[in-house]
């Protein structure tokens, strides 16, 4: 995670600078003026991780500046983190510092929180975790009212649970999520809700079925399912896929099927190049799905060539990107078949150059 210095008085200027940088790039690709969705200026980040720095019996949260990677910077407060993380950081540090068993060879602390106020803390060690550690960690978890995961090489000890509960409101409708430790979740909850409302509002006139690649725990899948007859969603991570299936039941949604495939594998399956037993649970063959809309939310590398080619066969595309460079590359490749009809900038990472972008593309008329 980049070292983020929150200077609220600079926020508006920094947001304008990065949106002004990218708007001309997408204007050249035929895009309209972007809708811009700002972030809260503080307290927005639902995830945080810190190295733990030991000085004798003292232990501190530290981060490292990329320009000085060997110099630890002690973090005594972290105003970009959610309130629930900010509130517990110092009491937790003091408890760890005062407990020889819990602090010994403690390497890193990771915090996962939600807009709903849930919290999970993962403590990572450079030593095996024994019964004494588990006893002390159980006392700590009970006294602080939190769940704790202890990790070391080939070990994962869960005290409480290894997931957090989240509720996201989309146009006034609540969607409930189980978000496991280790699965990708959006780091900025308020901006994520803006993304979901923007995405669903752009699909109000959709018909037929949706194919979603890189679906994670169902963040976009669940709200978008209300706007399609059927949704087929894929994700490679086992942890995320299992959580996504549970999230369907949690929300009483019955028009979605999940498949544990990568985007590349799903492309091979749709092209008839390869059969996958991981699709055998589907109620009908792939060729019988009327997939008219494609949603992709890929990692920073963007789409591979085969998936870009697959995308060209869809009438409607919804492309969410965390990397404007690879998004611009992919849109340029798609421009021969599709028009860029809608554009949105989401400030997921305030005070950094990073920008999340949403686009809607429509197939060009013959």
pLDDT digits (tens, 9 = 90+) for 168-211: 999 999 999 999 999 999 999 999 999 999 999 998 666 689 99
In a domain, 2, yes or no: no
Q: Which of 166, 181, 265, 356 is catalytic?
A: 356
In a domain, 286, yes or no: yes
In a domain, 54, yes or no: yes
Per-residue pLDDT reduced to its tens digit, 109-164: 999 999 999 999 999 999 999 999 999 999 999 999 999 999 999 999 999 999 99
Question: What would the mean pLDDT of 252-271 be, rounded to a whole number?
Answer: 95
**47-55 and 35-37 strand pairing:** unpaired
Q: Which of 17, 197, 322, 339 is catalytic?
A: 322
Same structural domain, 96 and 198: no
Is residue 356 annotated as part of the catalytic site, yes or no?
Answer: yes
Whole-angstrom distance, CA of residue 346 vs CA of residue 188: 10
Same structural domain, 242 and 160: no
Please compute Rg for the chain using Cα positions.
22
Helices (H), 274-336: 305-311, 324-334
Whole-angstrom distance, CA of residue 362 vs CA of residue 294: 11
Using a cut of 0.75, tell me whether the model's pTM lies above it: yes
Same structural domain, 147 and 209: no
Is residue 322 annotated as part of the catalytic site, yes or no?
Answer: yes
Please report the pLDDT score of residue 205 as a whole number.
65
Whole-angstrom distance, CA of residue 296 vs CA of residue 303: 9
Closest CA to 179 of 201, 198, 164, 161: 164
Categorize the per-residue pLDDT at 66 as very low, low, confident or very high, splitting at 50, 70 and 90.
confident
Per-residue pLDDT reduced to its tens digit, 316-338: 999 999 999 999 999 999 999 99
What CATH number is given to the structural domain containing 86?
A: 2.40.50.1070
Question: What would the mean pLDDT of 70-98 be, rounded to a whole number?
Answer: 96
Same structural domain, 75 and 110: yes
Please report the pLDDT score of residue 207 as a whole number.
67
Largest CA distance in the chain: 72
Same structural domain, 346 and 246: yes
Alpha carbon 351 to chain centroid distance? 18
Q: What is the residue whose two structure tokens read 């810190």? A: 50
User: Phi, psi (5° rounding) for residue 273?
Assistant: -80, -25
Categorize the per-residue pLDDT at 1 as very low, low, confident or very high, splitting at 50, 70 and 90.
very low
Same structural domain, 151 and 205: no
Characterise 318 by phi-psi region: left (phi > 0), alpha (psi -120 to 50), beta (else). Answer: beta
In a domain, 1, yes or no: no
Same structural domain, 235 and 342: yes
- Residue 88's H or E segment, with its range, is helix 83-98
Q: Of 133, 164, 195, which closes a domain?
A: 164
Which residue range forms the structural domain that includes residue 178? 8-41+165-363
Same structural domain, 52 and 193: no
> What's the token pair of residue 151?
């990790």
Contact assessment for residue 181 and residue 149, using Cβ atoms and an 8 Å cutoff: yes
Same structural domain, 322 and 255: yes
């Amino acid at each position: 995670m980049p070292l983020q210095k929150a200077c609220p008085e600079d926020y508006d200027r920094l947001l304008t600078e990065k949106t002004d940088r990218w708007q001309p790039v997408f204007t050249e690709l035929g895009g309209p003026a972007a809708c811009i969705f700002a972030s809260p200026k503080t307290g927005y980040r639902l995830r945080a991780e810190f190295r733990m720095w030991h000085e004798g019996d003292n232990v501190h949260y530290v981060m490292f500046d990329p320009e000085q990677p060997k110099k630890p910077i002690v973090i005594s407060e972290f105003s970009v983190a959610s309130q629930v993380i900010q509130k517990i950081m110092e009491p937790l540090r003091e408890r760890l510092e005062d407990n020889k068993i819990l602090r010994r060879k403690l390497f890193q602390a990771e915090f996962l929180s939600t807009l709903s106020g849930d919290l999970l803390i993962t403590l990572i060690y450079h030593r095996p975790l024994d019964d004494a550690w588990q006893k002390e960690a159980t006392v700590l978890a009970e006294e602080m009212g939190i769940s704790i995961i202890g990790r070391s090489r080939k070990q994962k000890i869960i005290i409480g649970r290894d997931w957090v509960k989240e509720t996201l409101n989309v146009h006034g409708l609540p969607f409930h999520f189980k978000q496991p430790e280790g699965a990708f979740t959006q780091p900025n909850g308020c901006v994520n809700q803006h993304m979901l409302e923007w995405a669903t509002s752009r699909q109000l006139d959709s018909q037929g079925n949706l194919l979603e690649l890189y679906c994670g725990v169902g963040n976009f899948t669940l709200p978008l399912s209300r706007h399609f007859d059927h949704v087929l969603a894929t994700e490679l991570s086992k942890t995320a896929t299992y959580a996504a299936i549970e999230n369907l039941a949690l929300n009483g949604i019955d028009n979605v099927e999940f498949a544990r495939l990568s985007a590349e594998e799903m492309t091979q399956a749709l092209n008839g190049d390869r059969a996958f037993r991981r699709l055998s649970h589907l109620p009908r063959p792939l060729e019988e799905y009327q997939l008219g809309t494609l949603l992709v939310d890929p990692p920073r590398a963007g789409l591979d060539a085969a998936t870009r080619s697959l995308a060209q066969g869809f009438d409607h595309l919804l492309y969410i990107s965390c990397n404007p460079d690879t998004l611009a590359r992919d849109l340029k490749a798609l421009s021969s078949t599709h028009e860029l009809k809608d554009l949105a900038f989401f400030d997921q990472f305030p005070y950094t150059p990073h920008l999340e972008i949403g686009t809607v593309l429509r197939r060009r008329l013959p």
